[in-house]
Structure 1
Amino acid sequence: MTNFRKYASSAVFRNFVYLNLTQVINYIFPFVTFPYVSRIFSQDNYGLIITATAFASYLGLFTDFGFNLSATRDIAKEAKENPLAINRIFNSVITAKIVLYFVFLIPLCGFIFISDKYSRHASIFMWYFAGVFGNLLFPTWYFQATNNMQNIAKFNLLSRVLGVLLLFLIVRNNDDLLNFAIMNAVISLIIGVLAIYIVISKYHIHLKLSFKFTALLVTIKEGFASFTAVLLISFYTTFNSLLLSWFCGYKDVAIYGVADKIIGIVLTVQGALIQAVYPSITAEEQGSIIKHKTLKLFRYNIFLGVMICVFLNLFAPLIIHIFTGHKYDLSIPVLRILSLVPIIMAFSSALSTYCFALKKERYQVYAYIIGVIYCIMANLILIKNYTYFAVSYNYLLCEIISLFALYLFIKNIKSR
């Protein structure tokens, strides 16, 4: 009993509880919004939403630039000892994010406007890009590193409630696509500004943007390895929707996107576990402790992964029909293919966390490069003939190839 009380009062346990609360919120609200959106919009319009989201995700990825991992690690190491260092890291990261946002926004907007395929929906894309600015302001990495997960849960709940209320108020038929895009952007901006205000007023962070080139370069360099890893992962996750929209059509994007969305919803518990344990593992200096904690993470994660996989396979038709009706029956086999992702994620998240804790992120990058090379080549060859089936199978194969390569790299580290 004493051990349980000690564990229940620990930062890791509190992190896990609050992050699970956040993920429960993320889990519950899509049961309301996702069926409504997938039904009210045509397959073409829903596919367009997924495509715009994918473009915005890339802008967000380049804006975050791996800071959600590197800044979390750096602040976690300073949290008890150096408030001035925390303030410096916070300002450096926010400044770097703003600079990167505009650096990548300009060419991305140029591409949208000159593309015959996307330019007619330019206003939709622009509002999704505006929403990214709100996301860059939200300091998940700061709350996570300083064990203030309750703020993430509160803000997440607020954004979800606002989203549901506005969804039913202003999105009523297939013609309200622009309203939907504006709604999401405005909510994102409101939440981002409020979060920054809380950090400044409650946690005594003095916001001071500094655009000195050398300081920005150092901050960007800190996040480069983890950014590269996330970018490479995106080539066989987010990039799939863009490939389908370019080579096939928005309907194919929608069919794949429905299954991918459901996978994203059920992965929330695994994601909470990884986020909760990550600061604790990366703050350690001793290799044996890092290994022990990583193995613990893996055991819990593989159990969750197998349970999720079995559940999705058994109930795939029922899940699709509950969420979207019979309009997306073609998504059923895609969901069954992607049901293996949670099991692969258990392995890859443990190995990735282990690498990052040892500051050997480059091995993760090397492993993903191998997987991405296969993914891009295979998709370019197969996507026109096999559409969403091609990207689904290639997604799994890329994960497996990258995972095996990363294992070999880690084994090489240990044998030295």
Structure 2
Amino acid sequence: MLKGKLETRELKVMMKFICWEGSDAAVGKKSLAKNAILNMFRTLMSMIFPLITYPYVTRVLQVENIGKINFSGSVVSYFSLIAGLGIGTYAIREGAALRQDKRKFEIFSNEIFTINVISSVVSYGLFLCTLFFVIDLHSYIPLILIQSIGIIAPAIGVEWLYSVYEDYEYITIRSIVVQLVSMVLLFILVHNQSDYSLYAGITVFSSTAAYLFNFFHSKKYIKLRLTGSPNIKKHIKSIIVIFAMSVATTIYVNSDTTMLGFMAGDYYVGLYNAATKIYTVLKSLMAACILVSLPRLSNYLALGKYDEYSEKASSILNIFFTLLLPIVVGVFMTAPQIISILAGKSFLDATISLRILCISLFFSIIAVYMTNVVLLPLKEEKQIMYATFASAIINLLLNFAFIPLWKQTGAAITTAVAEVVVMIWQVYAYRNTEHNIELRLNKKNLRAVFIGCCVIVLLCICTDALHAKLVVSFFTKVFLSIISYIVILVDLKHTIALNGIEFIKNRLKR
């Protein structure tokens, strides 16, 4: 009887998550699920651009030129990190608590905007000095200068402003328009191996144009301007902690590519990029749904609504276990086909790297959840910093050992280890931090997910035994796996699957 009541309660909680509407006057009645879908769709569209163009680009530019672009991009990313200072995450969390008071929020926003502009100018100066003094970078100067626009542009983009006000509809429409224009430019301008600089420029344009749109659209919410008194002392402590966390994250995310370039060469960077491109797409899609929850959950804690916080956080966790595990298993089982279809057979040596990275995807997404849903709203950024620094140090040390031995495969192994370290540390921090929240996993749902994943493995093995053509084999695996997984979840009374079907039925009736 008690078990039945608990399951009924969970069904209600899940439906509240799907259909929930907030009462925040400044934000309006916006569904958290709708925000998640919009943000996921926006991220999906931003990923579709490289997924559609990547097969074309890899075949036109070839492995070595792809390696050059990604190596130079990894160098620029360190200075983009300095320019950003972790300000975006801090602004979302603190801004969410101030958004009801427009005057206070505008003062806060202009202070953050000014600090970000200052940090971007300083970072670009450091970048130019590095480019001048590091001789090994001189052959990459044209590419690096093109990509360096990304150091300055995010400061004027104030992307955090739209996250605070949960304006994901605008962000989605803007992103789609920019990506479509960029896609057209790519197919018009890039035709041979020597056009790799044009490709880099188009990639930079897709983000820079979005930031310009953001700047002019920001007047809908605030009058954005530089201020002579940015109150740096008030903000700097938390910003520096989040920045340190971002530095460590960037080290273990980008150091693989940078060290591969120096220690193995552009060819292996190109192979590794084929695997990381797919890994990044999947990680970004899953993370997009999680990231929209930060302003809402931070607002709950600011208002002392701990029960509502626990319900939403637990719902998100259960949903992501349901989605994440079959994706990990599916990508692992179809890795050779994915590499061949997206990048071409010349990139097949990246298959093992992709399989390792898709395993690390599980740990990575749990870490993203712990960061954005739990520790950041609880203002435990120091624990996040410790976790990321520990993983960054381990990643760097392992890179020195593994990259010379196994090239791109070694780089993938170090990334996986880093993701595991971050996840374990953050889960431990949650359990040992004083808080008034409880995260609940539905064991019955987990059993159904596990059985569904086992069936996916069996279906993929049986499909391989048929020795069908590459594309036919891939889409057969995907179709059968999706249908079988859904059927198994419904048959085993998986609450989220049942909620989803009921939700769709109700919408269709309307």
Q: TM-score if structure 2 supplies the norm length?
A: 0.76
| 1:361 aligned to which of 378, 381, 385 | 381
CA distance in 1, matches of 2:420, 2:17: 37
Structure 1 residue 338 corresponds to structure 2 residue 357? yes
User: Cα–Cα, structure 1 residues 241 and 318, in superposed 2: closer, same or farther, change >3 Å?
Assistant: same
Q: Residue 194 of structure 1: CA displacement? A: 2.1
| Secondary structure, aligned partner of 1:236 | helix
Q: What are the residue-to-residue correspondences of 1:187-336 with 2, within 5 Å?
A: 187-200=206-219, 202-203=220-221, 205-212=222-229, 215-285=231-301, 286=304, 287-336=306-355
Structure 1 residue 86 corresponds to structure 2 residue 99? no
| 2:189 aligned to which of 170, 178, 200 | 170
Residues 96 and 220 in structure 1, CA contact (< 8 A), matched pair in contact too: no
Question: Which amino acid letter does the alignment assign opposite residue 44 of structure 1?
Answer: E
CA distance in 2, matches of 1:247, 1:331: 17
Larger deviation, residues 402-411 vs 29-38: 402-411
Structure 1: 5+ residue stretches without partners = none
Write out per-residue CA displacement over residues 135-174 of structure 1, whole angstroms, 9 at most, x where no aligned residue.
3322221111102111211221122111111111211111
| 2:95 aligned to which of 47, 72, 75 | 75
Q: Residue 346 of structure 1: CA displacement? A: 3.3
- Could you tell me which residue of structure 2 aligns to residue 113 of structure 1? 132
Q: Which has the larger radius of gyration?
A: 2
CA distance in 2, matches of 1:176, 1:404: 44
Q: Residue 280 of structure 1: CA displacement? A: 1.6
Larger deviation, residues 20-29 vs 303-312: 20-29
Question: Which amino acid letter does the alignment assign opposite residue 151 of structure 2?
Answer: V
Q: Residue 372 of structure 1: CA displacement? A: 1.9
Q: Residue 5 of structure 1: CA displacement? A: 8.8
- Could you tell me which residue of structure 1 aligns to residue 72 of structure 2? 52
- Could you tell me which residue of structure 1 aligns to residue 44 of structure 2? 24
CA distance in 2, matches of 1:5, 1:278: 17
Larger deviation, residues 147-156 vs 28-37: 28-37
Q: Residue 217 of structure 1: CA displacement? A: 4.2
Where relative contact order (Cα < 8 A, 6+ residues apart) is larger, the structure is: 1
Larger deviation, residues 325-334 vs 279-288: 279-288
CA distance in 2, matches of 1:27, 1:191: 15
Question: Which amino acid letter does the alignment assign opposite residue 344 of structure 1?
Answer: F
Structure 1 residue 126 corresponds to structure 2 residue 132? no
Structure 1 residue 160 corresponds to structure 2 residue 176? no
User: How large is the Cα RMSD of the aligned pairs?
Assistant: 2.3
CA distance in 2, matches of 1:266, 1:316: 13
- Could you tell me which residue of structure 2 aligns to residue 7 of structure 1? 20
Larger deviation, residues 15-24 vs 160-169: 15-24
Residues 312 and 336 in structure 1, CA contact (< 8 A), matched pair in contact too: yes
CA distance in 2, matches of 1:78, 1:258: 42
Equivalent pairs: percent with the same residue? 19
CA distance in 2, matches of 1:408, 1:253: 34
CA distance in 1, matches of 2:416, 2:191: 37
Structure 1 residue 405 corresponds to structure 2 residue 425? yes
Larger deviation, residues 122-131 vs 289-298: 289-298
| Secondary structure, aligned partner of 1:117 | helix
Question: Which amino acid letter does the alignment assign opposite residue 330 of structure 1?
Answer: D
User: Cα–Cα, structure 1 residues 207 and 379, in superposed 2: closer, same or farther, change >3 Å?
Assistant: same
Question: Which amino acid letter does the alignment assign opposite residue 96 of structure 2?
Answer: A
User: Cα–Cα, structure 1 residues 275 and 407, in superposed 2: closer, same or farther, change >3 Å?
Assistant: closer
Larger deviation, residues 6-15 vs 303-312: 6-15
Q: Residue 387 of structure 1: CA displacement? A: 1.8
User: Cα–Cα, structure 1 residues 46 and 318, in superposed 2: closer, same or farther, change >3 Å?
Assistant: same
Q: Residue 365 of structure 1: CA displacement? A: 1.1
Larger deviation, residues 2-11 vs 320-329: 2-11
- Could you tell me which residue of structure 1 aligns to residue 9 of structure 2? none
Q: Residue 325 of structure 1: CA displacement? A: 1.0
CA distance in 2, matches of 1:326, 1:11: 44
- Could you tell me which residue of structure 1 aligns to residue 489 of structure 2? none
| Secondary structure, aligned partner of 2:115 | helix
Write out per-residue CA displacement over residues 80-128 of structure 1, whole angstroms, 9 at most, x where no aligned residue.
2x11122122212222222111212222222223333221120210110
Larger deviation, residues 173-182 vs 247-256: 173-182
The size of the alignment, in residue pairs, is 412
Write out per-residue CA displacement over residues 303-322 of structure 1, whole angstroms, 9 at most, x where no aligned residue.
22211111111111111111
| 1:386 aligned to which of 386, 406, 414 | 406
Residues 335 and 355 in structure 2, CA contact (< 8 A), matched pair in contact too: yes
Write out per-residue CA displacement over residues 348-376 of structure 1, whole angstroms, 9 at most, x where no aligned residue.
12322311111111111112222222211
Q: Residue 415 of structure 1: CA displacement? A: 9.5
Structure 2: 5+ residue stretches without partners = 1-11, 22-28, 437-510
Residues 17 and 32 in structure 2, CA contact (< 8 A), matched pair in contact too: no
Q: TM-score if structure 1 supplies the norm length?
A: 0.92
CA distance in 1, matches of 2:289, 2:19: 19
Residues 332 and 358 in structure 2, CA contact (< 8 A), matched pair in contact too: yes
Q: Residue 4 of structure 1: CA displacement? A: 8.6
User: Cα–Cα, structure 1 residues 278 and 4, in superposed 2: closer, same or farther, change >3 Å?
Assistant: closer
Structure 1 residue 148 corresponds to structure 2 residue 167? yes
Question: Which amino acid letter does the alignment assign opposite residue 159 of structure 1?
Answer: V
Write out per-residue CA displacement over residues 368-413 of structure 1, whole angstroms, 9 at most, x where no aligned residue.
2222222111212332222222221111112212222222233222
